[in-house]
Every structure is written in structure tokens, then in C-alpha cells.
Amino acid sequence: MLPFYEQEELRRKQGKQGGMRLLINPMDAANRGLADRQRVFAFNANGEVLFELAVTDKAQPGVVAAEGVWWLAYALGNRGVNALTSQRLTDRGEGSAFYDNTVEVRAD
């Protein structure tokens, strides 16, 4: 949530989170045999990224959400969430096509 790493206070606040988190609905976590605070990979054809899982009703069934964009120096693995995005441009305005990607989730 706080991607402004040049400010020490913001790095400290995000550090309390414990690392890059992936929010998942309890039903989806149970269906995959995954548990809260477990390390998981979100992956698709573009790549895979390591997260700490946060099982929460805040995530809608069938949807996972990555909170914030972390610099690689603060990521759990060697990739950030943008490794899951496409490099294509949108058909509307030719902007960046990120923030909405299809992924699957598996245990580390």
C-alpha cells in the first residue's frame, strides 16, 4: 500500500505488514489447502511471485489481491508483483495493462 520507499517512515509502516502479502478468501484458501501466513506463489504465463498469504473475508471468492508494489530490495523473493503483468498496451488509450491479471496460487 505504501510504495514510497524513499521515505523511511513509510518503509517502516509497510515493514510491519511482514512482507508482500496476497489476500485470499477463506473458501479459496481451504479449497487449495492453504493457510494464513503461509508462503505461496502467485503465477501465470508471465511469471511467478512469492507472497505471504493473508486469508481474509476482505478478498472476494475467486479473487486474490496483492497489496502495494514493493521494491525488489524488500520483496520476499527475487520478483515483484509486476512480474505477473503483461507488457501489452490497453485497447482503450494504449495505457499500461496492469492491476488486473489472471493468476493461480500454490504453496511455496
Residue 100, domain member (yes or no): no
Is residue 40 included in any domain, yes or no?
A: yes
Q: What CATH number has the domain bearing residue 32?
A: 2.40.40.20
Q: Is residue 95 part of a domain?
A: no
> Exposed, middle or buried, 51 (CB in 10 Å: 0-12/13-18/19+)?
buried
CA gap 97, 84 in Å, rounded: 11
Among candidate residues 88, 71, 89, the one with its CA nearest the CA of residue 80: 71
For residue 99, what pLDDT is reported?
67
Number of domains comprising the chain? 1
Considering the domain boundaries, does residue 47 fall inside one? Answer: yes
Q: Which domain holds residue 46?
A: 8-84
32 CB-near residues (< 8 Å, 6+ apart): 105, 106, 107
How high is the pLDDT of residue 12?
67
Q: What is the pLDDT of residues 59-75, one digit of tens each?
A: 999 999 997 777 787 78
DSSP class of residue 10 equals H
Per-residue model confidence (pLDDT) at position 64: 96
pLDDT at 14: 61
Position 39 scores a pLDDT of: 96
Low-confidence residues in the chain, pLDDT < 50: 1-2
Q: Are 81 and 70 in contact (CB under 8 A)?
A: yes
* pLDDT for the residue 44: 96
Any domain includes 54: yes
Residue-wise over 9-18: b if at least 16 C-beta within 10 A, else e? Answer: eeeeebeeee
| Residue that is written with C-alpha cell 511469471 in the block | 47
